[in-house]
Structure 1
Amino acid sequence: MPLLWIITLLWAFSFSLIGAYLSGQVDDYVAVTSRMLLALLIFVPFFRAVPWRQASMMMATGAIEIGMTYLFLYQSYHYLTVPELLLFTIFTPLYVSLFADVLARRWPKRLWAPALLAVAGAAVIRWTELSDGYWKGFMLIQAANACFAFGQVWYRHQSRSNPLPHRSRFFWFFLGAAVMSAGAMLLWADWTKLPATPLQWGVLLWLGIITSGLGYLGWSYGSTQVNAQQLAVMNNMLIPAGILVNVMFWHGHLQDWPRLLLGCIFMVLALWLCRKQPSKTA
């Protein structure tokens, strides 16, 4: 659990960095592919040859959890404000719970209670007035949420029978994500919107090496050390963390601190409800 908290704090910077320095300035497909290639470079020294079926499974996980997630996420910035985007990520715990149930071949029972509490807490914190014509953005961010949730649960599911160290798996993981995003870039990129300033390159380096490379390695390893309920709840801890980072470092304005506190109480209660579940459950 401590590792998931550390990665949550690390990821809290990402939404504001993308919204402030990349969205609308650097082509989405170029930005995503750059991040995936930079992350892949970290894991080249840990490459291990594996049977093609195992390699394709790990590549498919990366292509879905990171490649497709980011392609949908970056597109959603064109239709949603950052507060709206954060609001619509509140459904991720429900997707985590759903996919955990599906892969475990069980009927949902207690698994949904903490996830629903986490969604309620995030809704209390982030509910805002919605802009006109937000439905396309809503569908894009839900697609991103579903891809991210499925990839997390599938990675945990595979970890039971995968003897490779996590750092070696992530070579194949990011190779799949890079192939997915590069294919989209070659088809749809606007080549007039390339990174042009040292700041944009610096943000991409941070997002690629630290946030994506080390961040996803830590999150995926951490996800194998907790139960599915805890993982579902931790997916929404990014919302209060993102707000605090925005207020502290980007001088964002938060009028309703009581709502933030109440939402956090919901989430802490959700974590408390799932504290006794064994970490190896699906």
Structure 2
Amino acid sequence: MFALLFVSLLWAFSFGIIKGELTDLPPTLVAHLRLLISFIVFLPVALWLRKTSISFKLIGLGVIQFGVMYIAYIFSYQYLPGYLVAVLTIFTPLYVMIFDAMIKKRFNGQWFLPIILSILGAGILVYQENNAQQWLIGFLILQVANLAFAFGQIYYKHDDNGQASLALHSSNMANMYFGAALFSGIMMFWQTGESLTDIKITSRQFYFVLYLGAIASGLGFFLWNWGAKHVSAASLAIMNNGYVPLAIILSFTLFGERPDFAKLLLGTTLIVVSLLWAHKQQAK
């Protein structure tokens, strides 16, 4: 649980950094650099621990949990302010509990009621008279990221591989980072093409990307997936929202965003109620 709490604090700064510093760069480039740095950081660790076995299953899981998630997540910043990206990741716990219920074959039809309530809350958050379509696109893109991240962590939690030791977990994460970096690299070249050589990254942006890749992603996901193996699915779902309040506060203060507080309060309240409702359903 401590690992999940630490990572929640770590991730709270990422929303404002991406929105304030990196949105002028292609999203696939930012995603690829983050994941490539994560792989470069963990490859020597896996080699030093002599845990370098290749697992195509884990490479594929890395494509989903980190590759697909990051590309969709960073794309959403093209349509949404940072604080709203933070708020709308609140759907991830619902997906965690749904995937966990599906794996355990304990899914209940009553799950649809809290899901409908959460969708209503999200509708209040993303509706704007002037840019409703833009925010709706951002919301849908972000849900791809939430689904990918939820599936990856719950699959890793239930998979036997990686339960034995931190050394084996390091090897697993190296495999996952490799798959994610490979996938995001392909998507980067597909998006940018020949214009890739014309993209300029300032030294300030490079330092932010280095932090996001080595610390927020590399260390963060390593600790998150390790923590996921050692807590219940319900606790894991709740901890997926641990960084949201701090991320919102930082977006308002440190990064200067100005939301519609009435809509933010109402929409977020409905989503939180839906999450508690779903958690109660899972407990039953």
The residue that corresponds to 1:92 in the other structure is 92
Hey, what does 2:37 align to over in structure 1?
38
| 8 Å Cα contact 1:33-1:182 kept in structure 2 | yes
Q: Specify the alignment match of 2:190 in structure 1.
A: 187
Corresponding position of 1:149? 150
Summarize the alignment of residues 33-112 of structure 1 with structure 2, pairs less than 5 Å apart. Answer: 33-47=32-46, 48-50=51-53, 55-108=55-108
Tell which deviates more after alignment, 220-229 or 233-242: 233-242
More helix, by proportion? 2
Give yes or no for the alignment of 1:166 onto 2:169.
Answer: yes
Gaps of 5+ in 1: 278-282
- Partner-residue secondary structure (3-state), 2:97: helix
The one-character-per-residue Cα deviations of 1:253-280 (angstroms, maximum 9, x if unpaired) are: 57869959x95xx68x959x78xx8xxx
Q: For residues 249 and 234 of structure 1, what CA distance do their matches in structure 2 show?
A: 23
- Kept after mapping to 2: 8 A contact 1:30/1:194: no
Cα distance in 2 between the residues matched to 1:104 and 1:194: 47
Distance in structure 2 (CA, Å) of the matches to 1:21 and 1:250: 10
**Segment of structure 1 superposing worse, 194-203 or 215-224:** 194-203
Please list the CA deviations of residues 61-94 of structure 1 after superposition, one character each: whole Å capped at 9, or x if unmatched: 1110110001111111222222332332221111
* Per-residue Cα deviation, 1:110-140 (whole angstroms, up to 9, x for no partner): 9x69xx59x96xx59x946533213222211
Question: In the alignment, is residue 199 of structure 1 matched against residue 198 of structure 2?
Answer: no
Query: What RMSD in Å do the two structures reach over aligned CA positions?
Result: 3.3
Q: In structure 2, the residue corresponding to 1:233 is in which secondary structure?
A: helix
SS for the counterpart of 2:199 is coil
Unaligned runs of 5+ in 2: none
Displacement, 1:166?
Answer: 1.4
- Corresponding residue of 1:241: 246
8 Å contact kept, 1:71–1:181:
yes
Worse-matched range after superposition: 101-110 or 88-97: 101-110
Distance 2:198 2:99 in 1: 37
Q: Does 1:228 align with 2:227?
A: no
Taking a change above 3 Å as real, the CA distance of residues 159 and 238 of structure 1, as seen in their structure-2 partners, is: farther
**Structure 1 Cα separation of the partners of residues 204 and 87 of structure 2:** 28
CA change 1:103–1:16 in 2 (3 A) is: same
SS at match of 1:31: helix
Given that residues 252 and 258 in structure 2 are in contact (C-alpha distance below 8 angstroms), is that contact kept between their aligned partners in structure 1?
yes
Distance 1:102 1:228 in 2: 12
Identity %: 30
The one-character-per-residue Cα deviations of 1:163-191 (angstroms, maximum 9, x if unpaired) are 46211211101001011101101211252
Alpha carbons 1:195, 1:201 under 8 Å: kept: no
Deviates more, 1:231-240 or 1:166-175: 231-240
- The 1-side partners of 2:185 and 2:57 are apart by 19
* Counterpart residue type for residue 166 of structure 1: H
Secondary structure, aligned partner of 1:170: helix
Residues 7, 218 of structure 1: 8 Å contact kept: yes
Paired AA for residue 220 in structure 1:
N
Match of 1:177 in 2: 180
Amino acid across the alignment from 1:34? L
Distance in 1, matches of 2:70 and 2:178, equals 15
Q: How many residue pairs align between the two structures?
A: 264
Q: Distance in 2 between matches of 1:128 and 1:220?
A: 30
Give, in angstroms, the shift of residue 232 of structure 1. Answer: 1.0
CA distance in 2: counterparts of 1:215 and 1:129, whole angstroms: 32
Match of 1:280 in 2: none
